[in-house]
Chains A and B, each alone.
Chain A
């Protein structure tokens, strides 16, 4: 049971490049989330999904896109990278039975846009 996995761990992009951050969970959780965390700040919700085929915007969705074709995978797409997107990105999923809203996080992707 790997939990929530994210790839890559680190990435440097040039302004205007595109990339996809991968997130996979093997716990059969319906709810999945993408957060970004800037230095010294809390986590801000980018997008979330309550099940395959259903996604919705969080607090800071501009510049990002998501898809959810399977329960396991929730990739985050950056189309035109900007320096303001330099951050640490965390993917998470939620256990909705038993303890309420316990989130399990992946190890994060550290992205730098130059």
Chain B
């Protein structure tokens, strides 16, 4: 079983749609969780950290379910510029080592 698993997609949605990505992780000792965005042939960039109580940043909402070892990212009112690959990232136990999921590709169509 992979340490961090994501549905690779692609997710093809029209502009204005709401889309949700899920991610599961295997290490119950993980303490830090993130969503990164990666544009084609570019380096990953931090989109948002994920907190236990859930958190929102504009059109983006992240949720964490520790009991199920599950993380989600919800994007509302999708824009063309949201087209990218979204990487679920989990720290390995309480170390500085981050484990990346395969990524979920989102394509927003006009």
B92 to chain A, nearest CB (A): 9
Chain A interface main SS type = strand
A43, B100: Cβ atoms under 8 Å?
yes
CA distance A42 to B102 in the complex (A): 4
Nearest residue (CB) in B for A94 is B96
Q: Which residues of A contact B101 (CB under 8 A)?
A: 42
- Cβ of A99 under 8 Å from chain B: yes
Count the A residues whose beta carbon is within 8 Å of the partner chain — how many? Answer: 26
Q: Which residues of B contact A48 (CB under 8 A)?
A: 96-97
B103, A101: Cβ atoms under 8 Å?
no
B1 to chain A, nearest CB (A): 15
A109 to chain B, nearest CB (A): 11
**Footprint of B on A, CB under 8 Å?**
31, 33, 35, 40-45, 48, 50, 58, 88, 90, 94, 96, 99-103, 105-108, 110
